[in-house]
């Protein structure tokens, strides 16, 4: 299954979870003797309003300039995102040297294709890939805790528009 994650919502479906992301994070904080701050609550609500891939800068741009909790500073955003990862709500991976985040809690395991031209990320799920991963781990006596697999290349759309420009140039 191949899904363009930037334009469609939750096409890979969702995984049944007992708690909402907010409750889950509250539990995580409680186990550390902490309480949720207003910026944390605002960020969790914003981030979990739709499934997307984003980095800290995109998130900063989307936030209201003055939310109910006042302006949320860049440092707070970075710190909070890392806490969400630690709590198992988000997962992060590195793409061209920047940290990209997406939902982990309540969202199925998947991998990505990355178009180096339009920068879009496409999601896919492959049982064969998981079988191979587990076999490689077994051979090397590894206990799997996760993996990152990103296929780089040029997406179908970008290939088409490339051909169109080439044809135009041929006519000149
Ligand atoms: Zn593309
Ligand atoms: Zn994804």
Residue 1's pLDDT is: 40
Q: What class does CATH assign to 109-172?
A: alpha beta
CATH, domain range 15-107? 1.10.10.10
Q: What's the whole-model pTM score?
A: 0.79
Q: 31 pLDDT band (50/70/90 cuts)? A: very high
Is pLDDT at 96 greater than 90 in this prediction? Answer: no
Provide the residue ranges of all domains of the chain, joining segments of one domain with +.
Answer: 15-107, 109-172
How many A from CA of 60 to the centre of ligand 1? 24
Q: Which ligand is nearest to the CA of 5?
A: 2
How many A from CA of 172 to the centre of ligand 1? 26
Q: pLDDT by residue (tens digit) across 6-20?
A: 444 446 878 888 899
> How many angstroms separate the CA atoms of 159 and 8, rounded?
21
Q: Radius of gyration over alpha carbons of the chain, in Å?
A: 19
Q: pLDDT by residue (tens digit) across 63-85?
A: 876 654 457 888 999 999 999 99
Judging by DSSP bridges, how do beta strands 98-103 and 90-95 pair with one another? Answer: antiparallel
Cβ atoms 104, 25 nearer than 8 A: no
How many A from CA of 156 to the centre of ligand 1? 7
């Amino acid at each position: 299954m191949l899904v363009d994650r930037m334009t469609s919502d939750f096409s890979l479906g969702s995984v049944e979870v007992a708690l909402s992301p907010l409750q889950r994070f509250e539990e995580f904080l409680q186990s550390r003797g902490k309480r949720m701050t207003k910026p944390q609550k605002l960020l969790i609500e914003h981030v979990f309003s739709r499934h997307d891939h984003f980095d800290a800068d995109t998130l900063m741009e989307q936030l209201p300039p003055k939310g109910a909790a006042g302006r949320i500073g860049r440092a707070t955003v970075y710190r909070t995102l890392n806490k969400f990862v630690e709590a198992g709500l988000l997962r992060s991976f590195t793409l061209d040297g920047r940290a990209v985040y997406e939902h982990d809690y309540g969202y199925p395991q998947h991998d990505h294709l990355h178009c180096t031209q339009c920068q879009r990320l496409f999601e896919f799920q492959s049982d064969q890939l998981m079988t191979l991963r587990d076999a490689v781990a077994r051979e090397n006596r590894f206990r799997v805790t996760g993996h990152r697999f990103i296929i780089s290349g040029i997406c179908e759309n970008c290939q088409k528009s490339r051909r169109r420009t080439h044809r135009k140039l041929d006519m000149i």
